Amino acid sequence: MILADTLVQLAYDPGIAPNEGGLPGLAVLKKVMGSLNLFAIIAVVGALAVSAGVWAWGHHSGGHQAEANGKKGVLVSAGAALLLGAANGVVAFFSALGSQIS
């Protein structure tokens, strides 16, 4: 009997949904997050340029470790740029997916 009561409590739907007008300052928070995303993208551009330079320098100087690190840096920078650019879509996708769970 106690187990059944616990399962009923776990299955309770609180009825909470995202509310865009619920708290003040939402517009400011959106601007701050957008600015942080922009700064991160600019940093990734710098990291990509430095990594490409290290890759080229390592290749032409015979530094195999520097060449490998430059390649890794280019790949990591490209992946970070992909994730930063797709951040809104990824969050929207999983939020919509999560809202379908009942």
CA 86 – CA 63 distance, rounded (Å): 35
For residue 33, being part of any structural domain is answered with yes
Per-residue pLDDT at 72: 98
For 34-74, what is each residue's pLDDT tens digit?
999 999 999 999 999 999 999 999 999 999 999 999 999 99
Check: CB of residue 53 under 8 Å from CB of residue 70: yes
Return the closest-CA partner of residue 80 out of 43, 32, 30: 43
CA 33 – CA 70 distance, rounded (Å): 30
For residue 19, being part of any structural domain is answered with no
For residue 2, being part of any structural domain is answered with no
Would the pLDDT of 33 be above 90?
A: yes
Helix (H, G, I), strand (E, B) or coil at 73: helix
For residue 16, being part of any structural domain is answered with no
Check: CB of residue 57 under 8 Å from CB of residue 70: yes
Domain, as residue range, for 58: 24-99
Tally the domains of the chain: 1
pLDDT band at 1 (very low <50, low <70, confident <90, very high): low
